[in-house]
């Protein structure tokens, strides 16, 4: 388990908020640049702001181990730097009874699964009843209850009970919303280019124009020739028409004179 701020991460192993007497737990402070000199402190019913290694636990740098745990180890734990910066705190409980509720210490993210386990010193996987805010949620034969998709309405105070073994202390479970991610800005299209078309496009245009001209020219030339020939023949016909009529008139006159004589 890890408890993180912008500067430090508080790690806890194993990840649970309740422990039996005689269990052990390891805590450590991890900074991104490892230069702040973080130490572990705690508040209990007997002491305030005590540093690991002086009055409790076995410290090594920014790490601390408590082995074995006793009832007086119940309290609030956090990491603190030499500049008095602190991480988020966690609450550990070491009850005197024989039943504990295993639940996450830090807030659960919305939509994530949440598993609760009810444990007894006298055996495991025993039927257990689970309660939220004093109301019965249900009884599980194996002593485990899972909420597949956690919502804000699942936040509350939880405990469990194993018949003939006892009841666990209550633990508060917080639910937090998932961090929102901003959508990436829409990519801006490049401005239209005013550069001339590439050479290959120009060549294709010239080639297509030449092809059209080659196809069109024969028809155009043949049409011009036909029109010119037609006009030439009409002009010749009109020029030669009067002499023919004169020749015919002269022949008629000569025939009449010969007939007279």
What is the full per-residue pLDDT of the chain (261 aa) written as tens digits? 555 554 687 888 988 999 999 999 999 998 876 556 889 999 999 999 999 998 899 998 889 999 999 999 999 999 998 887 888 899 999 998 999 999 998 789 999 999 999 999 987 789 999 999 999 999 999 999 999 999 999 999 999 999 989 999 999 999 998 877 655 555 555 544 544 445 455 566 656 766 566 555 565 666 666 766 666 665 545 545 454 444 455 445 545 444 444
**Is 149 within 8 Å of 178 (Cβ atoms)?**
no
Nearest of 69, 61, 54 to residue 18 by alpha carbon? 69
Number of alpha carbons in the 13 Å side-chain half-sphere of residue 132? 13
Per-residue pLDDT at 130: 98
Give the CA distances from residue 112 to residues 109, 151, 177, in Å, rounded to whole numbers and listed in that order.
6, 9, 10
**Is 85 within 8 Å of 70 (Cβ atoms)?**
no
For residue 154, give the DSSP letter. Answer: G
Looking at the chain, the domain(s) classified CATH 2.60.40.10 span 1-96, 97-178
**Is 168 within 8 Å of 160 (Cβ atoms)?**
yes
d(CA 1, CA 17): 10
Helices (H) and strands (E) in the chain, counts: 1, 19
Structure tokens, 117: 């386990």
Per-residue pLDDT at 261: 44
Per-residue pLDDT at 238: 52
Determine whether domain 1-96 maps to CATH 2.60.40.10: yes
Structure tokens, 156: 């509350």
The pTM score is 0.64
For residue 75, give the DSSP letter. Answer: E
Per-residue pLDDT at 208: 72
Per-residue pLDDT at 180: 74
CATH placement of domain 97-178? 2.60.40.10
Nearest of 26, 14, 88, 91 to residue 62 by alpha carbon? 26
Per-residue pLDDT at 219: 58
**Is 106 within 8 Å of 172 (Cβ atoms)?**
no
How many Å is the maximal CA-CA distance in the chain? 177
Question: What are the φ and ψ backbone dihedral angles of 16, each rounded to 5 degrees?
Answer: -160, 160
């Amino acid at each position: 388990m890890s408890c993180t701020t912008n500067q430090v991460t508080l790690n806890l192993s194993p990840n649970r908020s309740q422990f039996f007497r005689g269990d052990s737990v390891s805590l450590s402070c991890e900074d991104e640049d490892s230069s702040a000199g973080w130490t572990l402190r705690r508040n209990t019913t007997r002491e305030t702001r005590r540093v690991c290694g002086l009055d409790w636990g076995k410290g090594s740098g920014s790490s601390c181990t408590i082995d074995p745990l006793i009832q007086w180890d119940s309290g609030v734990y956090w990491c603190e730097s030499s500049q008095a910066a602190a991480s988020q705190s966690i609450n550990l409980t070491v009850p005197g009874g024989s039943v504990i509720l295993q639940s996450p210490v830090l807030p659960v993210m919305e939509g994530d699964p949440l598993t609760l386990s009810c444990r007894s010193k006298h055996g495991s996987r025993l039927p257990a009843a689970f309660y939220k805010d004093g109301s019965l949620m249900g009884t599980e034969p194996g002593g485990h209850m899972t909420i597949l998709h956690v919502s804000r309405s699942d936040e509350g105070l939880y405990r469990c009970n194993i018949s003939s073994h006892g009841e666990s202390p209550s633990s508060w479970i917080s639910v937090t919303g998932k961090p929102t991610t901003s959508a990436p800005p829409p990519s801006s299209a490049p401005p239209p280019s005013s550069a001339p078309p590439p050479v290959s496009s120009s060549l294709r245009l010239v080639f297509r124009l030449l092809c059209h001209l080659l196809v069109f020219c024969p028809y155009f030339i043949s049409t011009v020739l036909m029109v010119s020939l037609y006009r030439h023949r009409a002009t010749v016909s009109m020029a030669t028409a009067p002499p023919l009529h004169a020749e015919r008139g002269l022949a008629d006159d000569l025939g009449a004179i010969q007939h007279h004589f």
